[in-house]
Structures are given as C-alpha cells and as structure tokens.
C-alpha cells in the first residue's frame, strides 16, 4: 500500500529535505514536536523496522548519528530522542519505516509515559530463551 512517504520519495509531493543518499532520505516533520524534528526514512518501501533488509537497515544506521549531530548543531539542543514506531497500537501513523530525531528542551520535544515494571527472574529466563531461539532460527 502506498503511503505519503512513497509520494515524497517519488517527488509527487514536496518535503523540506535535509539529506539524501542512495538508500536514505531525511526531511523535516510536517508536525514537529520541537524545531528541527527530522524524519529519516529508507528508500526501501517497508512498513515496519523488522521487515527491512540488512542493506537498508545498515544505510539508516550509518547516517543516523551524523544526522543527529547536524540537528543538534542546527537547533542548539543538547538532548534529543530517536523514536521509531511500529504498528498503529505503537503510534505509527505512516506505514513506511521512519526514524524521528526529536530535539528535547525548553522549546518542546517528545513527552514519554514510561510505566516501568520489575523484571522477575522467572520471567527473564524463558524470555531470553525464546528470543535466542528466534534469533537462531533466523540464521
Ligand atoms: P508516526 O506516528 O511515527 O507514524 O509519525 C509520522 C510522522 O509523519 C508524523 O510526525 C507526521 C509526519 N508526516 C505525516 N505526513 C507528512 C508529510 O506529508 N510530510 C512530512 N514532512 N511529514 C509528514
């Protein structure tokens, strides 16, 4: 299914582009939580992070720190969040993978509800086992 970011990639609608390479495009969020709020997207058209190829994921990882430095430098912020939502229950609205770089400070930023619980040992052991099994099945 085509998304608004596909249309940006195809040049059908404009964006305030800050960076582009063979695999990645970055542009300002149209509804910023703070000045400099930037979206970083792979050119690979996948809805969720876990669907990305290693190549697209590596390309994003390669430029994220550089883009974060540039956003900090441009805004004067010293704190920021990198947010990446997957699934509508997790607040994803555009179903093309994207990373938010959101400066945090007196001029706004991401508000986070973080309802932490305690990790019980009897829960941790089977969870580690299940995740390791899933990882092993991937390779
Ligand atoms: P998310 O909830 O993680 O799926 O965030 C989607 C973000 O995309 C949201 O912060 C607003 C932004 N957005 C939606 N449509 C457009 C658009 O047409 N242009 C730009 N630049 N940003 C958009």
Give me the phi and psi of 91, to 5 degrees please.
Answer: 75, 15
* Ligand 1 surroundings by CB, under 6 angstroms: 4, 15, 27-31, 39, 85, 91-94
pTM: 0.97
Q: What is the pLDDT of residue 139?
A: 80
Annotated active-site residue 48? The verdict is no
Q: How far apart are CA 71 and CA 26, in angstroms?
A: 11
Say how many domains are in the chain: 1
Q: For ligand 1, what atom is nearest to the CA of residue 83?
A: 3
Answer yes or no: is 123 within a domain. no
| Marked catalytic residue, from 23, 37, 96, 98 | 98
Answer yes or no: is 133 within a domain. no
Number of helical H runs and strand E runs in the chain: 3, 5
Answer yes or no: is 72 within a domain. yes
Q: What is the pLDDT of residue 6?
A: 97
Structural domain of 30: 4-111
- At 54, which CATH number? 3.30.428.10
Answer yes or no: is 58 within a domain. yes
Per-residue pLDDT of the chain (139 residues; tens, 9 = 90+): 799 999 999 999 999 999 999 999 999 999 999 999 999 999 999 999 999 999 999 999 999 999 999 999 999 999 999 999 999 999 999 999 999 999 999 999 999 999 999 999 999 999 999 999 999 999 8
Answer yes or no: is 131 within a domain. no
């Amino acid at each position: 299914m085509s998304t608004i970011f596909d249309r940006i990639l195809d040049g059908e609608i404009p964006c305030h582009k800050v960076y582009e390479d063979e695999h990645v495009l970055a542009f300002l969020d149209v509804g910023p939580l703070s000045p400099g709020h930037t979206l970083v997207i792979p050119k690979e058209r996948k809805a969720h992070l876990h669907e990305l190829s290693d190549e697209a994921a590596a390309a994003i990882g390669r430029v994220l720190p550089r883009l974060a430095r540039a956003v900090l430098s441009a805004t004067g912020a010293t704190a920021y969040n990198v947010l990446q939502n997957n699934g509508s229950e997790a607040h994803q609205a555009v179903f093309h993978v994207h990373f938010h770089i959101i400066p945090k400070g007196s001029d706004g930023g991401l508000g986070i509800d973080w309802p932490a619980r305690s990790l019980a040992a009897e829960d941790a052991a089977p969870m580690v086992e299940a995740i390791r099994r899933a990882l092993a099945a991937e390779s």
